[in-house]
Amino acid sequence: MMTSFLFRALDARAGIFLAIMAAAIILVPAANLLAPEGSAFHVPNYAVTLMGKYLTYALLALAVDLVWGYCGILSLGHAAFFALGGYAMGMYLMRQIGTRGVYGDPNLPDFMVFLNWQELPWYWYGFDMFWFAALMVLLVPGFLAFVFGWFAFRSRVTGVYLSIITQALTYALLLAFFRNDMGFGGNNGLTDFKDILGFDIQADTTRAGLFAASGVALVLCFIICRALTRSKLGKVLVAVRDAESRTRFLGYRVEHYKLFVWTLSAMMAGIAGALYVPQVGIINPGEFAPANSIEVVIWVAVGGRGTLVGAVLGAVLVNFAKTWFTGALPDIWLFALGGLFVFVTLFLPKGIVGTVSQGWTALRQRKVSAAYEAGSDVPPGAPPQSPGATANVSATKPNPTPSASAGAEPQPAE
Amino acid sequence: MSLLKSFFLLVGLMVCAASEPSFAQSGPEALRPLINGLAEGKYAETEKQIGALVATGDPAVAPALEALGEGDLYVRKSDGAVFIATKAGKGYALTDPLTLEQAGEAGRRDVSKIKVNNKLRRVLRSALGSLTLMAADPQVRMAAAEAIFKARDPDGIEALDAALAAETDDGVRKVMEEARAAAVLNSDLDEPQKLDAVQTLSVMGNRDALSLLIGVQSSAGGAVRDAATQAVTRIQKSIAAWDAAQNIWYGLSLGSVLLLAAIGLAITFGVMGVINMAHGEMVMIGAYVTFVVQELIRTSAPGLFDYSLFIALPLAFLTSGVIGVAIERGVIRWLYGRPLETLLATWGISLMLQQAVRSIFGPTNQEVGNPDWMSGAFEIGQMTITYNRMWIIVFAMLVFAGLMLVLKKTPFGLYTRAVTQNRRMAASMGIRTPWVDAMTFGLGSGIAGIAGVALSQIDNVSPNLGQGYIIDSFMVVVFGGVGNLWGTLVGAMTLGIVNKFLEPYAGAVLGKIFVLVFIILFIQKRPRGLFALKGRAVEA
Tens of pLDDT, residue by residue over A153-169, are 988 888 888 888 898 89
Position A388 scores a pLDDT of: 43
Cα separation, B509 vs B518, whole angstroms: 14
**Which pLDDT band holds residue A361 (cuts at 50, 70, 90)?**
confident
B295: nearest Cα among B366, B373, B388, B391: B366
Q: Is B339 close to A159, i.e. CB distance below 8 A?
A: yes
Position B17 scores a pLDDT of: 45
Position A317 scores a pLDDT of: 92
Interface test with A, best of B343, B359, B538 (most A CBs within 10 A): B343
Cα separation, B86 vs B94, whole angstroms: 7
Position A279 scores a pLDDT of: 92
Query: Does A303 contact B at CB distance below 8 Å?
Result: no
Cα separation, A93 vs A200, whole angstroms: 11
**Which pLDDT band holds residue A387 (cuts at 50, 70, 90)?**
very low
Query: Does A325 contact B at CB distance below 8 Å?
Result: no
Cα separation, A362 vs A367, whole angstroms: 9
Give per-residue pLDDT as tens, A253-312: 999 999 999 999 999 999 999 999 999 999 999 999 988 999 999 899 889 888 899 999
The mean pLDDT value of chain A amounts to 84
DSSP B498: H
Q: Is B347 close to A341, i.e. CB distance below 8 A?
A: yes
Q: Is B524 close to A161, i.e. CB distance below 8 A?
A: no
Q: Give the number of A-B residue pairs with CB atoms closer than 8 Å.
A: 129
**Which pLDDT band holds residue B8 (cuts at 50, 70, 90)?**
low
Give whole-number Cα distances, B206 to A87, A124, A308, B385, B472, in Å.
48, 46, 66, 16, 35
**Nearest-by-Cβ selection for A175 from B331, B344, B509:** B509
Which chain B residues are closer than 8 Å to A346 by Cβ?
Answer: 331, 334-335, 345
Region B429-440: mean pLDDT is: 90
Which chain B residues are closer than 8 Å to A179 by Cβ?
Answer: 509-510
Which chain B residues are closer than 8 Å to A293 by Cβ?
Answer: none
Q: Is the pLDDT of residue A319 over 90?
A: yes
Give per-residue pLDDT as tens, A188-216: 889 888 888 888 888 888 989 999 999 99
Region A64-80: mean pLDDT is: 93
Which chain A residues are closer than 8 Å to B344 by Cβ?
Answer: 294, 297-298, 301, 341, 344-345
Q: How far is B346 from chain A (nearest CA, A)?
A: 7
B182: nearest Cα among B144, B152, B147: B152
Cα separation, A342 vs B46, whole angstroms: 80
ipTM of the complex: 0.79
Residue A245: Cβ within 10 Å count: 13
Q: Is the pLDDT of residue B7 over 60?
A: no
A259: nearest Cα among A267, A251, A250: A267
Q: How far is B292 from chain A (nearest CA, A)?
A: 23
Region A337-362: mean pLDDT is: 87
Q: Is B331 close to A346, i.e. CB distance below 8 A?
A: yes
**Nearest-by-Cβ selection for A298 from B339, B344, B516:** B344
Comparison of pLDDT for B35 and A281, the residue scoring more: A281
Percent over 70 (pLDDT), chain B = 91
Q: First-to-last CA distance in chain B?
A: 86
**Which pLDDT band holds residue A389 (cuts at 50, 70, 90)?**
very low
Q: Which of A171-185, B88-102, B150-164, B506-520 has the lowest mean pLDDT?
A: B150-164
Residue B423: Cβ within 10 Å count: 18
Q: Which residue of B has its CA nearest to A75?
A: B340
> Where do the domains of chain B lie, and which CATH numbers do they carry?
2-132 (no CATH), 243-525 (1.10.3470)
Q: Is A342 close to B520, i.e. CB distance below 8 A?
A: no
The mean pLDDT value of chain B amounts to 81
Position A376 scores a pLDDT of: 57
Which chain B residues are closer than 8 Å to A168 by Cβ?
Answer: 471, 474-475, 516, 519-520
**Nearest-by-Cβ selection for B538 from A151, A178, A245:** A245
Q: Which residue of A has its CA nearest to B343?
A: A160
Q: Which of A246-255, A290-299, B53-62 has the lowest mean pLDDT?
A: B53-62
Q: Is the pLDDT of residue B537 over 60?
A: no
Q: Is B521 close to A294, i.e. CB distance below 8 A?
A: no
Q: Is the pLDDT of residue B394 over 90?
A: yes
Cα separation, A249 vs B358, whole angstroms: 51
Position B340 scores a pLDDT of: 80
**Nearest-by-Cβ selection for B516 from A159, A172, A338:** A172
Q: Is the pLDDT of residue B4 over 70?
A: no
Comparison of pLDDT for B498 and B100, the residue scoring more: B498
Give per-residue pLDDT as tens, B449-494: 999 998 888 888 888 888 888 888 888 888 887 767 888 899 999 9
Q: Is the pLDDT of residue B344 over 90?
A: no
Give per-residue pLDDT as tens, A103-157: 878 788 888 888 888 888 888 888 888 999 999 999 999 999 999 999 889 888 8
**Nearest-by-Cβ selection for B351 from A165, A337, A349:** A337
Query: Does A285 contact B at CB distance below 8 Å?
Result: no
Q: How far is CA A311 from the centre of its chain?
A: 7
Give per-residue pLDDT as tens, B228-241: 788 888 888 888 88
CB A302, CB A87: distance < 8 Å = no
